[in-house]
Amino acid sequence: MTPKKILRRPQPGTDPAWGQDLPPLLRRLYAARGVTSDEQLKYTLKHLASPFQLRGIDLAVELLAEAIARNQRVLVLGDFDADGATSTAVAILGLSMLGLQSIDFRVPSRFADGYGLTPGIIERLRDEGELPDLMVTVDNGISAIEGVKAARELGIKVVVTDHHLAGEVLPDADAIVNPNQPGCEFLSKNAAGVGVMFYVLIALRKKLRDAGRLPQPEPNLGKLLDLVALGTVADVVPLDHNNRIFVEQGLRRIRQGEARPGILALLEVAGREYANISSTDLGFVVGPRLNAAGRLDDMSVGIACLLADSPDEAGRLARELDTFNRERRTIEKDMKAQAQDLLASMSLDLEGLPWGLALFDEDWHQGVIGILAARIREQTHRPTIAFAPDENGVDVKGSARSIPGLHIRDVLAVVDSRHPGVMKKYGGHAMAAGMTLARSDFDVFSQAFDRAVRDALTAADLEAAITTDGPLSPDELSLETAALLKRAGPWGQHFPEPVFDGEFRVVSQRIVGENHLKLVLQPVDGGGIIDAIAFNTGPEVPDYTRTGARVVYKPDANTFRGRTNLQLLVDYLEPLS
């Protein structure tokens, strides 16, 4: 494991006016994550921010209500990641529940179309004779200047629903609903695309109800919250209070077996019991299997899985997605090895590496470069962009992953201002972004990216660090604590799952499954024997039985042969001496 600096999360004093009914450990953990009142831990739907704070939602609802009344043809234009897939499913299911009769969806091909609503998609719809009356973009559209223009020139009305950061120019759509557009006062700027679409449905339901046009019995849009939860977690948006409500409500539906057949089938192929899942399972089990379709083939398969009403059909599609995910893992493993060889060929240690890494290989796969960039970032603790060739043989497409303290889209904006035209297009978030540039401009771009990163960071920002919640006492190292923490979520981005550190005597250690380190630990300050496992360490590890180890871990419940015991999931460990 790469040496890391272990930091402990600040432990602010807690206001005695809140949290009196909480166990002391939870009160400490919540306070360290910025919770200052009991209200911030209430996850009922009545605590959601009002949809009518969203700029443009009245116009969007008016257009959708008109489409229902006039039986217009509506086309949902999705995206090829999990947020886009769940957004598409929520739009299709929700609008159908509210009375829309004619609705379909399209998803751009990652390889043939690129991202979002493009003029090429509109041209293909025209050539196929499939022009809709109204197009609704989900999880995309805020940068689709030319695509929206092409649609409206053919008489198609366009409602953009998105959450990505807006550029200096907005598309000339009939309505734009995006909490991150200029002038929008919506409280949760962290909403995922699926959350934005869900809000549009909530507002539309109210308009139809007020007009006496709501189908009876009244549609329960809460049935869509499992999809909202999945898209929110899988897109790794910050789990502010509003997003935690979405996730917690969705998890409750899943645990009760009331989720879409597709979500239950994806959990089943992954060997997870739906009654016991957490937000982590959505992010690391369901999300990757859904994303695999968009990375390697066609996200329509993933959307079809989410829309399936039959458990048999959902199961068949889930198995297909699981196969894609296994293939994705194989490709990723090969690409990671190539990237490591490329880094090694630079003959540089971490001190000599560029601050901003831009890597390209002729054989890399477009669908997996985002994951590859994340892996290299983890290894080097550098903002990383992995590039793969485009189909046209002229361009390369890049996927960027950042480190804490560096807003990657802002850095790309700096590069664009210094070298106009080098990036043909770009966009993204604080921690992830994408771009396209001519292959011939790669060297210019890589140097400019490194320079912009150096201007934005200090050397201290490049030190790999892991932040913990400090130690657990011997009494807290228990199965009860593991269960308490699992119930206490939902945990996620900017509301991180608790992780602890401590010093342990290593009673024994062995490699299992070729790459995983199985440990038996005992706290140095007293306490019982505890099982632990560190995944993917590789076969070569120090002999911690001689030195003891400082361990960063999460308490977990491990069931084997009908018996459940405490097991520590090890994120990081290093010798004590």
pLDDT category, 380, cuts 50, 70, 90?
A: confident
- pLDDT tops 60 at residue 349: no
Mean residue pLDDT across the chain = 91
pLDDT (tens digit per residue) in 166-190: 888 999 999 999 999 999 999 999 9
| 469, HSE (Cβ side, Cα atoms, 13 Å) | 21
pLDDT category, 2, cuts 50, 70, 90?
A: low
- pLDDT tops 70 at residue 237: yes
Cα–Cα dist 553/506, whole Å: 14
Q: Which two tokens stand for residue 168?
A: 């200096």
pLDDT (tens digit per residue) in 351-368: 678 999 999 988 888 878
pLDDT category, 14, cuts 50, 70, 90?
A: low
pLDDT (tens digit per residue) in 27-48: 999 999 999 999 999 999 999 9
Q: Which two tokens stand for residue 376?
A: 């290299």
The most distant pair of C-alpha atoms in the chain lies apart, rounded to whole Å, by: 77
Q: Which residues pair with 138 in a beta bridge?
A: 161
| 6-15, 141-150, 368-377, 527-536: least confident range | 6-15
- pLDDT tops 90 at residue 223: yes
Q: State the DSSP code for 388.
A: E
- pLDDT tops 60 at residue 348: no
Q: Please report the domains of the chain, with CATH numbers, ordered by start residue.
A: 5-33+466-575 (2.40.50.460), 52-322 (3.90.1640.30), 350-462 (3.10.310.30)
- pLDDT tops 80 at residue 229: yes
Residue 180 CB contacts under 8 Å (≥ 6 apart), including other chains: 142, 163, 164, 165, 166, 189
Q: Please report the pLDDT score of residue 452 as a whole number.
A: 95
pLDDT category, 501, cuts 50, 70, 90?
A: very high
| 253-267, 306-320, 350-364: least confident range | 350-364
pLDDT category, 407, cuts 50, 70, 90?
A: confident
Q: Please report the pLDDT score of residue 515 as a whole number.
A: 86
pLDDT category, 312, cuts 50, 70, 90?
A: very high
Q: Please report the pLDDT score of residue 372 as a whole number.
A: 86
Q: What is the mean pLDDT of residues 20-24?
A: 91
Of 309, 286, 288, residue with least CA distance to 230: 286
pLDDT (tens digit per residue) in 76-132: 999 888 999 999 999 999 999 999 999 999 998 776 677 789 999 999 999 999 899
Provide the CA 208 distance to its chain's centre, in angstroms.
Answer: 33
Q: Please report the pLDDT score of residue 374 as a whole number.
A: 86
What ranges make up the beta strands (E) of 497-562? 500-512, 516-523, 530-534, 549-560
Q: Which two tokens stand for residue 433?
A: 């972004």
Q: Is 533 helix (H, G, I), strand (E, B) or coil?
A: strand
What ranges make up the beta strands (E) of 455-525? 465-468, 500-512, 516-523
Q: Please report the pLDDT score of residue 569 as a whole number.
A: 96
pLDDT category, 431, cuts 50, 70, 90?
A: confident
Provide the CA 374 distance to its chain's centre, in angstroms.
Answer: 12
Q: What is the mean pLDDT of residues 120-149?
A: 94
Q: What is the mean pLDDT of residues 385-409?
A: 89
pLDDT category, 389, cuts 50, 70, 90?
A: very high
- Are the C-beta atoms of residues 198 and 228 closer than 8 Å to each other? yes
Q: State the DSSP code for 399.
A: E
Between residues 131 and 371, the one the model is more confident about = 131
pLDDT category, 299, cuts 50, 70, 90?
A: confident
Q: Which two tokens stand for residue 536?
A: 């993917």
- Are the C-beta atoms of residues 472 and 8 closer than 8 Å to each other? no
Q: What are phi and psi of 467, to 5 degrees?
A: -100, 130
Q: Please report the pLDDT score of residue 3 as a whole number.
A: 67
pLDDT category, 529, cuts 50, 70, 90?
A: very high
pLDDT (tens digit per residue) in 52-83: 999 999 999 999 999 999 999 999 999 888 99
Q: Please report the pLDDT score of residue 433 as a whole number.
A: 86
Q: Please report the pLDDT score of residue 132 as a whole number.
A: 97
146-154: long-range pairs with CB below 8 Å, 24+: 146/118, 146/119, 147/116, 147/117, 147/118, 147/119, 147/121, 147/122, 147/171, 148/117, 148/172, 148/173, 149/119, 150/119, 150/122, 150/123, 151/117, 151/122, 154/122, 154/126
45-50: long-range pairs with CB below 8 Å, 24+: 45/222, 45/245, 45/249, 47/241, 47/245, 48/242, 48/245, 48/246, 49/186, 49/187, 49/188, 49/242
Q: Integer distance in angstroms from the first to the last C-alpha of the chain?
A: 16
Q: State the DSSP code for 221.
A: G
pLDDT category, 345, cuts 50, 70, 90?
A: low
